[in-house]
């Protein structure tokens, strides 16, 4: 590791991660709130970061849930 470089590796148990993956519209997805929790940031900050960097994400990276889908997850 280079001098002045720091790596913070966090191990997340597979079962915890698998419980945060949903199958919606034929795709495996994670909720923004779950991703924010994993990255230890606020959901708002995560969404802002994605919007500012849309050029590095594939077009299908993010979509909004329909109200019915959201209710089903609750």
Query: Is the residue at 9 inside a domain?
Result: no
pLDDT tens digits for range 38-69: 989 999 999 999 889 989 988 778 888 899 98
Query: Is the residue at 4 inside a domain?
Result: no
Written as six digits, the tokens of 66 are 């329909």
Q: For residue 61, what are the domain limits?
A: 14-73
The predicted structure's pLDDT at residue 8: 65
What are the two backbone dihedrals, phi and then psi, of residue 26, each rounded to the nearest 5 degrees?
A: 80, 10
The predicted structure's pLDDT at residue 23: 92
Entry pTM: 0.71
Query: Is the residue at 1 inside a domain?
Result: no
Query: Is the residue at 44 inside a domain?
Result: yes
Query: Is the residue at 3 inside a domain?
Result: no
Give the integer Cα–Cα distance in Å for 65 and 61.
Answer: 13
Examine the pLDDT at 3 and tell me if it is beyond 80. no
Number of compact structural domains in the chain: 1
Query: Is the residue at 54 inside a domain?
Result: yes
Written as six digits, the tokens of 69 are 């889908």
3-state secondary structure at position 29:
strand
CB 34 within 8 A of CB 20: yes
């Amino acid at each position: 590791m280079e001098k002045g470089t720091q790596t913070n590796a966090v191990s997340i148990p597979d079962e915890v991660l698998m419980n945060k993956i949903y199958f919606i519209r034929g795709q495996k997805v994670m909720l923004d709130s779950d991703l924010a929790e994993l990255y230890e940031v606020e959901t708002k900050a995560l969404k802002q970061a994605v919007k500012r960097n849309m050029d590095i994400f594939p077009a299908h990276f993010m979509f909004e849930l329909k109200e019915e889908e959201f209710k089903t997850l609750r």
